[in-house]
Structure 1
């Protein structure tokens, strides 16, 4: 019997493939579906391989050395000492209290080793849904992160390159993670961000969680387990340059110590592990998502391109605007303008309208796609439907008992 983890991956792949009309491709390549103009996950690593084997070098580069800028304590190594597959479909980045090769750090002889991986020169993206499913370590001084840097960092330097921190955690906050942007005039301790705290005293190190951003022109929205908790736009950077409308590459690392987390102490247990289940980037060849076409060849559209909660989703002439660019989240959501396609008030009755709303992980925002091109809300077991089979611009979309009618059929292109 397939494991729950394998079934989850298969279902998510099927959802994306049917809705986006995608084809399977090799690592870190864009998939362009003939006749659709859509693309599948442009980057995916599920870390399948024998226990003890190295990370895929066609996708990742392992950085080496120390980091004086943050006053981190570790020395990043290559090979499998600190970054290896576990044979169960995970990459394990391990921080150890050791110095097997007399490594020298900014403060003298290094006390710790760890690993830092990036996709520079192998993969970059501009816009899309960027996520990692991980279990972070616990302990004072631990600093796991999943983040991105502008590909032009070699030319313009940091922070002009821009930095998007999808997830950072510092060990003294076991229940909280942070999402932050850094750019010219808002970097380091002046970075702009927010935290997300698990409810009821839960601790991130106790299980896997999905950390993501939905990134579009002039907008970045952060989420944990499908729940959006922060959106940033150029209005937030105080008149400084918005540094995020360009390609970025990915970084995964586990730092030890530094200005923000502080150093490990006697309570910190080593080795400490960041366990990564998967990393993926889903986008399209238009860089902002793909149109969902329905009745009379018209598009699912966010009315007025308004990202406010409760904005109607309607049928409208396809026009290529951001209000008609949709991406599929690995959590079963369908997203535009940084928010989710939502069944109003979680209704299940025929005729319940759909709207745009903050992503919140509820069943009202989960969608499944059939091979017959129905888009179904499983909670209601009903189809996305054009009200009254009316192809006029502005006709509201709703859920309705699946009939097989043309007003319930959807393609991407």
Structure 2
């Protein structure tokens, strides 16, 4: 049982984020919904990696500055005890392919914290200004520290936090662990009207009394329009959609950046005590972000959907405005689609197009000369939606029909089977 109030972290004193609001959030209880529908039998296309850090390099070296910035300072908002230091003092490569974020009971720099002279040092990294993503799979393989007062986290913030503040920016907590729960991690959403103790989330507990500090584990979210799914080592434990928010605003269809940190103490985990051993270390094997969108050189193949049928150009015609439909898979050129590096989906030398560039539910999709407009831009997240970002709507089979000739359209993303697709190349 978590405490009734679990404040969150504050983005600290980097020049690029001085305007960011103080954060006070934390996981909230919630029963995990059923796992997301299993993919169809057809093999999905390999995802395109849009960000990756494998943390290879000499022992003691700092993180790659082209990918990460290091935050500095303390955090009065959560009453955390650590001071986040610059450089490689508390965040360095170990020479064996890991980033090690180390929390120490020390203060060689005579740092001042909200409570006086700081008692601990640690590190916090983010990709703000260097990398942000909308949708896809965001994952890290990590081994957390053990001990009362330890608070490792892998999370994301909306890239617009400097303009709209928190919690309007949104926050996606991919993994948080507090030392007094050695077998449990939490995944949580925070946004306007559901932040702090009101965050929407759930916990995942290892079986048999295992502790997360005993071994590396992979923590991930699969993120698509109007849906985010959490997993540990591939086991899905919750899926959240706008329906979980009780009418409050869903703020997760825009770019977010990535954060890694190890906090010490605070309202939620409580302070270290005599049982806590220092130094405490968060080991990160890798961080990867991937999406099927814009995968160059991927070849062409069928796009299969509802009832195992294929996305098909009606009559294999190449005239502008030819309808796109669902049809029995037959291996013809009318069913061979390629995902272009420019964000297009192409067949028969033309592009999948939203009629007249409209954004309304039920707008038909069709074949049209490729023209570089937003009506021909498609994101293909790992969650198997095909999304037109301009409309923020999904490719959809009208009426959920499996009949040959069922027309395709765009519709508000619901996560239903008539909006799930497998792109095979």
Name the TM tier (shorter chain): 0.5 to 0.7
1:315-372 CA distance string (max 9 Å, x none): 3337679xx97656xxxxxx4259xxxxxxxxxxxxxxxxxxxxxxxxxxxxxxxxxx
Instruction: Give 1:342-361 correspondences, 5 Å limit.
Output: none
> Is 1:44 the equivalent of 2:39?
no
Tell me the secondary structure at the aligned position of residue 243 of structure 2.
helix
Structure 1 CA distance, aligned partners of 2:299 and 2:226? 22
Instruction: Work out whether residues 291 and 300 of structure 1, in 8 Å CA contact, stay in contact via their aligned partners in 2.
Output: no
Tell me the secondary structure at the aligned position of residue 154 of structure 1.
helix
Structure 1 CA distance, aligned partners of 2:242 and 2:294? 21
> Is 1:336 the equivalent of 2:384?
yes
Relative to structure 1, the CA distance from residue 139 to residue 299 in structure 2 (aligned partners, 3 Å threshold; closer, same or farther) is same
Instruction: Give 1:132-147 correspondences, 5 Å limit.
Output: 132-147=140-155
Relative to structure 1, the CA distance from residue 326 to residue 200 in structure 2 (aligned partners, 3 Å threshold; closer, same or farther) is farther
Relative to structure 1, the CA distance from residue 239 to residue 327 in structure 2 (aligned partners, 3 Å threshold; closer, same or farther) is closer
1:134-167 CA distance string (max 9 Å, x none): 0000000000000000010001100000000000
| Aligned twin of 1:299 | 303
1:238 CA displacement: 1.6
Relative to structure 1, the CA distance from residue 205 to residue 62 in structure 2 (aligned partners, 3 Å threshold; closer, same or farther) is same
1:243-274 CA distance string (max 9 Å, x none): 10100000000000011101100000000000
Structure 1 CA distance, aligned partners of 2:133 and 2:312? 29
| Aligned twin of 1:316 | 311
| Aligned twin of 1:249 | 257
Runs of 4+ in 1 over 4 A off after TM superposition: 18-21, 290-293, 318-321, 324-328, 391-394
RMSD of Structure 2 on Structure 1 (CA) = 2.9
> Is 1:216 the equivalent of 2:224?
yes
Tell me the secondary structure at the aligned position of residue 317 of structure 1.
strand
Relative to structure 1, the CA distance from residue 180 to residue 131 in structure 2 (aligned partners, 3 Å threshold; closer, same or farther) is same
Instruction: Work out whether residues 291 and 326 of structure 1, in 8 Å CA contact, stay in contact via their aligned partners in 2.
Output: no
1:129 to 132, 137, 140: 137
Structure 2 CA distance, aligned partners of 1:46 and 1:393? 46
| Aligned twin of 2:4 | none
> Is 1:102 the equivalent of 2:101?
no
Tell me the secondary structure at the aligned position of residue 80 of structure 1.
coil
Structure 2 CA distance, aligned partners of 1:135 and 1:220? 23
Tell me the secondary structure at the aligned position of residue 336 of structure 1.
coil
| Aligned twin of 1:366 | none
Relative to structure 1, the CA distance from residue 110 to residue 89 in structure 2 (aligned partners, 3 Å threshold; closer, same or farther) is same
| Aligned twin of 1:154 | 162
Relative to structure 1, the CA distance from residue 292 to residue 184 in structure 2 (aligned partners, 3 Å threshold; closer, same or farther) is farther
Instruction: Give 1:49-60 correspondences, 5 Å limit.
Output: 49-60=57-68
Structure 2 CA distance, aligned partners of 1:228 and 1:242? 21
2:187 to 169, 179, 184: 179
Unmatched tracts of structure 1, length 5 or more: 1-17, 22-38, 304-311, 329-334, 339-390, 395-409
| Aligned twin of 1:282 | 290
| Aligned twin of 2:233 | 225
Instruction: Work out whether residues 129 and 281 of structure 1, in 8 Å CA contact, stay in contact via their aligned partners in 2.
Output: yes
Q: Name the TM-score, length of structure 1 as normaliser.
A: 0.66
| Aligned twin of 1:62 | 70
1:374-394 CA distance string (max 9 Å, x none): xxxxxxxxxxxxxxxxx9679
Query: What is the aligned residue count?
Result: 291
